[in-house]
Amino acid sequence: MESLITAAARALEAGDPLGALNRVALRNDAPSLALRGIAMAQLGDLAKAKSLLRNAARAFGPREAVARARCVVAQAEIALVSRDLSWPDRTLAAARTTLEKHGDLANAAHARHIAARRLLLLGHIEEAESMLAGPGRFPLPPASQVVRELVLAGIAIRRLRSEDARAALARAARAARQAGIPALAAEVEGASRVLDTPTARLITRGEERPLLLAEVEQLATSEVLVVDTFHHSVRRRGTVVPLGTRPVLFALVRILAQAWPADVSRQTLIAGAFHARHLDESHRARLRVEIGRLRTKLKPLADVNATKQGFALAPRRTRDILVLARPVDEKHANVLALLSDGEPWSSSALALALGTSPRTVQRALDELARSNKVQCFGHGRARRWMTPPVPGFPTGLLLPTPLLKT
Amino acid sequence: MKRSAAEIIREYGPFEGVEAVHGVTYDGSHVWFASGDKLNAVDPDSGKVARSIDVAAHAGTAFDGRHLFQIAEDRIQKIDAASGKVLSTIPAPGGGGDSGLAWAEGSLWVGEYRERRIHQVDPESGKVLRTIESKRFVTGVTWVDGELWHGTWENEESDIRRIDPATGKVLEQLDLPAGTGVSGLESDGGDRFFCGGGTNGNVRAVRRPRRG
């Protein structure tokens, strides 16, 4: 429509943000602000990009609804990448509806992907999946296709479906080659490595070995009794006893399972489950109560037998018990798992993603910082936390260039 | 003011490698359109691209009988239609905010998109001779039989309108279907307008209302 805007938009699409900036750097009209914002985002200055896009959205008249909606989508993407998860998802949904209504299906799909990635990051897997399944199936541009497949792979990995994940990643790799964007191809490759790196640890009869995602998946159909520290549950095939809200019971069953077929002394159980150093009669009484509760819970899967010195598990209909644990058994492993995507997180975003209070997260971060496992920068509300990416942890999904045409 | 729905006679395209049409003109036998880094000549009968010139082409296109004029970034290039060589350039009046371009009566007429106005420009010096205010974002501009027409594209709505060159008053308006953009406009001197479809990469022929 406008000559210089067209020239700048073409430069941006060709992966030349500096060329785009050269053309619109001194202009403050709405489309120039939007292009400058996207160029700055591509150059990594997210703070500047955010304010430029905010101004652009404001500068577009109320009648330029589509242009405005595209700015909102770009802002949402920047928020996601900076792990600002409190960004209002309703604003993004409204922008998506506007784009859909005006036939800008490519950008509407892009908005959908951003929403799905946010949901995935927050652990709302079902919602992320239904977000992707939304209406408007049409041929996506290759770069957009890559993002979609990466989100699908992320969902499959979190559901322990390695074959689905592998297939999605293969499609992602194909689309990345088609898009010809090296950063996308690298992202797909990084995500693929997750499938060939141990994602869990198996502990049985006092021995340990690393497990690939596919092997973890096989456990779901095998006959063994699994004490699952990822989901805080005990299961055998389709029978699942969730203990997520009963940490003491889970701690007890885990200690018993790790020792199985041997028994565990009362003292060890009390120390491990109640974090008590000195034993007294009240602890013994409490242990009796908790074991009673555990017995009731585990009834379909196993029995808890009293022995001379303590207790032992006795599984039903299987001859094996194993414990499925995280690769590194670490205090605050959940915080580290999120930070390991290499992106800077705010403590409030971590709290949101973990579903705990900001105070709890803050305490965990302080503790981790003292042992140099995490680092922070910035002050006050702008403070961000990160760790150097640990190989083998799922990396965060992707920042594609916003598909914004003016 | 007369207002009616635009009658689309024919659609050309999509053309291979063309993402968007930025400007349109007509040289008497071919419809030329600007597609970013090329000017393409389409045979209006077959609908096929007969020829292309590699030249920066970001907005309006015009033809004066011998030369093509093409806006690129913030300047207007004068191109030899036969050789495809850029002969000279003048600054564009909107400094890059320019969109449509027409040639008539020895002047260039340049639409300035967001400023909602049309400049009459000396094709030799680039000097602005006068400026006509419009009511809507201006895309393509064309003159036919002494009538000044321009395309609009605002709020995802487009029309082709005839305005009074003295006052800018709208005299006649052809509304395009919702979701159809107009980028680039040219009359064939008869009863057809050619206009670019913007980001859908098509060129359309629209019937010009008969007088009388």
pLDDT value of residue A170: 94
Backbone φ and ψ for B57, nearest 5 degrees, come out as: -145, 85
CA distance B212 to chain A (A): 34
CA distance B142 to chain A (A): 16
pLDDT value of residue A395: 33
Nearest CB to B58; choose among A3, A63, A65: A3
Judged against a pLDDT cut of 60, whether residue A171 lies above it is answered with yes
Question: Residue A1 and residue B92: Cβ atoms within 8 Å?
Answer: no
Strand B31-34's sheet: what is its strand order?
B23-26, B31-34, B36-42, B49-57
Reduced to 3 states, what is the DSSP secondary structure of residue A313?
A: strand
pLDDT value of residue B123: 95
pLDDT value of residue A81: 80
Chain B residues within 8 A of A102 when measuring between CB atoms: 156, 179
How far is Cα of residue B74 from the mean position of the Cα atoms in its chain?
Answer: 17
Judged against a pLDDT cut of 90, whether residue A183 lies above it is answered with no
Question: Residue A7 and residue B183: Cβ atoms within 8 Å?
Answer: no
Question: Residue B59 and residue A66: Cβ atoms within 8 Å?
Answer: no
Distance, CA of B13 to CA of B52 (rounded, Å): 15
Nearest CB to B73; choose among A4, A30, A31: A4
User: Could you tell me how many CB contacts below 8 A there are between chain A and chain B?
Assistant: 71
- Residue among B61, B70, B73 with most chain A CBs within 10 A, to mutate: B73
Question: Cβ(A6)–Cβ(A372) under 8 Å?
Answer: no
Q: What's the length of chain B?
A: 212
pLDDT tens per residue across span A299-332? 989 999 999 999 999 988 888 899 988 766 667 8
pLDDT value of residue A137: 63
- Hey, is the C-beta of B10 within 8 angstroms of any chain A C-beta? no
Give the position of tokens 């598909």.
Answer: A403
Whether the CA torsion A75, A77, A79, A82 is positive or negative: it is negative
Chain B residues within 8 A of A405 when measuring between CB atoms: 20, 199
Judged against a pLDDT cut of 80, whether residue A396 lies above it is answered with no
Reduced to 3 states, what is the DSSP secondary structure of residue A375?
A: strand
- Hey, is the C-beta of A4 within 8 angstroms of any chain B C-beta? yes
- Hey, is the C-beta of A1 within 8 angstroms of any chain B C-beta? yes
Judged against a pLDDT cut of 80, whether residue A341 lies above it is answered with no
Judged against a pLDDT cut of 80, whether residue A92 lies above it is answered with yes
Q: Which residues contact A197 (CB under 8 A, 6 or more apart)?
A: A212, A391, A392
- Hey, is the C-beta of B110 within 8 angstroms of any chain A C-beta? no
Chain B residues within 8 A of A141 when measuring between CB atoms: none
- Hey, is the C-beta of B183 within 8 angstroms of any chain A C-beta? yes
Chain B neighbours among A 22-41 (CB < 8 Å)?
A: 23, 27, 29-31
pLDDT tens per residue across span A250-304? 889 999 999 988 899 988 899 888 877 777 888 889 999 999 999 999 998 999 9
Chain A neighbours among B 115-154 (CB < 8 Å)?
A: 137, 139, 153-154
Using a 10 angstrom Cβ sphere, with 0-12 exposed, 13-18 middle and 19 or more buried, the burial of residue A225 is: buried
Tens-digit pLDDT profile for chain B (212 aa)? 899 999 999 999 889 888 889 999 999 999 999 999 999 999 999 999 999 999 999 999 999 999 999 999 999 999 999 999 999 999 999 999 999 999 998 999 999 999 999 999 999 999 999 999 998 999 999 999 999 999 998 877 899 999 999 999 999 999 999 878 899 999 999 999 999 987 778 999 999 998 75
Distances (CA, A) of B108 to B70, B116, B121, B147, B163: 11, 17, 5, 15, 17
pLDDT tens per residue across span A134-166? 765 677 888 888 888 988 988 888 777 888 989
pLDDT tens per residue across span A203-257? 888 788 888 888 888 887 888 899 988 778 898 988 889 887 888 898 899 999 9
Least confident of A8-22, A66-80, A251-265, A373-387: A373-387
Look up residue B183 and give its two tokens: 């980028």
pLDDT value of residue A398: 31
Chain A neighbours among B 49-108 (CB < 8 Å)?
A: 56, 58-60, 71-74, 92, 94-99
Q: Rounded to the nearest 10 degrees, how much is the dihedral formed by the CA atoms of A300, A306, A311, A316?
A: -30
Nearest CB to B73; choose among A23, A30, A65: A23
